[in-house]
Structure 1
């Protein structure tokens, strides 16, 4: 599929120039003047199309409303991990350090040379291509977890917290046989072959462990 490059910059002229450059290279370039509009589109993209399409973000550091660092933080909360290329007209060493800590692959100072931007985009898309399998696995885990009943989710939290079958039964107020049944269903639905497998899946989903009642 055609790689997607998202461009977030409140400067209409800069945004149009970057989009034209990317489109000329054959990329699916999508432009936004503000972070909110970008996230509205990106959330839908990452849930379906993005599972099979490499993508990256070219983002201005200084914008009204959420700035570049806040956009990076928003992506981090979503767990997407797509590569970010920051652009700024006011570059400095402390700012570049901030950008890299926020997960940026590249930090470019405006006016950005077309060759430098295209090279950064190529590297970012190559990196994201390698992460597509991980994103698909995470999407599958989320679907599996969504298929659990409320009681099964409760059981999962207790099990990954290290509770034994009898302790799980006591916490749920059910028989030990019923607790084992819930646990077996959780393992089957989550595709876990062992308790460590289940724990790793829970960690990827940021599920909190319940250790006791």
Structure 2
């Protein structure tokens, strides 16, 4: 896979120094003149190619912190390392709260920057893998029949097969058959793994997944509003 490290600094000479350093370590670096230039280049399309951003906090027009906020609004996933001159504590805290992976002073050892860029690219890779798993699970959930959805709802409520059968007015054998189909389609072996995949796939907490235990099986469950395949979750 091709990787890209975007570099946005308030001093072009610093940008090129960083690019030269990264290239010397085998990284592919792309220098951009401003935050606005970065926003024109990137989009919310999920790419398997790892990418990250080395950004200055102090930038003309749109600053580094405002850039991170805008990336989040646009649902652009771009792990960010701030590389800036004499960062103050307030800005550093804001950056970390916004999701920056590191805030590095320019006078620091270059090895820290190299390490943080590597961490950012690995962060992108692992998140991409999780997103692929989430999408796969969503497609598997969509393949369930209405009857299988009802049984899955019961399983996730902690109901026994006989309780599900009684509630749905089905034979226990039918419930068992649907249960086997669910486990096969979701590629899991036990209810705990099934629940974990559902929660991961829907980006929901357990409480949000099953909101009302009193509702009929299948009527208030997440499939009624399964999210469409979306851009990668925003962690920047």
CA distance in 2, matches of 1:186, 1:38: 42
CA distance in 1, matches of 2:131, 2:102: 26
1:175 aligns with 2:173: no
> Aligned match of 1:145 in 126, 138, 150?
138
For 1:97-108, what aligned pairs fall within 5 Å after superposition?
Answer: 97-108=93-104
Higher RCO (CA-CA < 8 Å; seq separation 6+): 2
For 1:108-187, what aligned pairs fall within 5 Å after superposition?
Answer: 108-109=104-105, 112-113=106-107, 116=110, 119-126=112-119, 128-129=121-122, 132=125, 135-148=128-141, 149=143, 151=146, 152=148, 156=152, 158-165=154-161, 175=170, 177-187=173-183
CA distance in 2, matches of 1:193, 1:4: 39
Measure how far apart 1:195 and its partner are: 0.8
SS in 2 for 1:58: strand
Measure how far apart 1:93 and its partner are: 0.6
1:64 aligns with 2:62: yes
Q: Which moved more, 1:151-160 or 1:182-191?
A: 151-160
SS in 1 for 2:101: strand
Q: Which runs of 5+ in 2 are unaligned?
A: 216-236
Q: Look up the match of 1:6.
A: 6
CA distance in 1, matches of 2:153, 2:31: 41
Q: Look up the match of 2:190.
A: 194
Q: Which runs of 5+ in 1 are unaligned?
A: none
- What's the TM-score, normalizing by structure 1? 0.64
Which structure features the higher share of helix residues? 1
SS in 2 for 1:64: coil
Change (3 A) 1:58 1:183: farther
Change (3 A) 1:70 1:115: same
Aligned Cα root-mean-square deviation (Å): 4.2
Q: Look up the match of 2:87.
A: 91
Measure how far apart 1:135 and its partner are: 4.4
Change (3 A) 1:23 1:74: farther
Larger Rg belongs to:
2
Residue 6 of structure 1 contacts residue 30 of structure 1 at CA under 8 Å; is this kept in 2?
Answer: yes
Change (3 A) 1:115 1:104: same
CA distance in 2, matches of 1:60, 1:157: 48
